[in-house]
Amino acid sequence: MIKKFFITGTDTNIGKSTISGILLKKASNFGYITAGYKPISSGVKKHKHITSDINKKKYQFINEDTCILQKNSSIYLTDKEINPISFFENAPPNILSLINKKNIEKKHLSLGLKKLALKSNWILIEGAGGWYTPISNQYTFSDWVQEEKLKVILIVGIKLGCMNHAILTEKSIFSDNLICIGWIANNIFPENKYTAYYIQTLLSYIKSPLLGIVPYLKNINEIDVNKINIKLPE
């Protein structure tokens, strides 16, 4: 049976890709054939291009999140397999779709997911922004997640305002008749005197189980997943 999970967050830039990378590695350590999937991305940086030929060294502009998912998947996947729809600029998908005259259709997202399911048995799908990020003027990312009936993992970036965002997001997931399989507290800033209170308050309000607390990570490129205490979702 293929396991598929959708990663959403309380906001943009709260560490969805970093957490996705950690979960992919942990699943791989458990023996799963893992694949990261970023259906839609925006914004690119210069990166060393990963190819199946280790002797080839090539640089190109690709999305940062795509690189993280590619690096941490247990099988080799091309940029396009991981990220079929990409935009050079960094802005909401529906706006970039309109400006670039590049329609985003839910069937294209589903097609990419089906292709990965032929190669792997544990797939982590990373959304864009928060739960109701529009991907067109007709539907949001959550509409596609509903169609695919994906289990959801909520990443909470611990910062001022996160409690309201987390509670609202979980309620929205439930109202869409989906399962929130758990949430992860991600310390995107160095811990302060309020950090423990944020998490304790969220434990009182969030009905989904806490899968783990990720400490503040100075360098995400040097993460030892064995030292990150996150429960692998079932």
Residue 58 appears among annotated catalytic residues? no
Q: DSSP 3-state assignment of 2?
A: coil
DSSP string, 38-59: -SEEE--EEEEEP-S-TT--EE
The residue type found at 43 is G
Phi-psi region of 144 (alpha: psi -120 to 50; beta: other; left: phi over 0): alpha
Active-site residue, from 38, 71, 119, 227: 38
CA distance 183 to 9: 9
What are the E-state strand segments in 75-167? 85-87, 122-130, 151-157
Token pair for residue 21? Answer: 């990378």
Q: List the catalytic residues.
A: 38
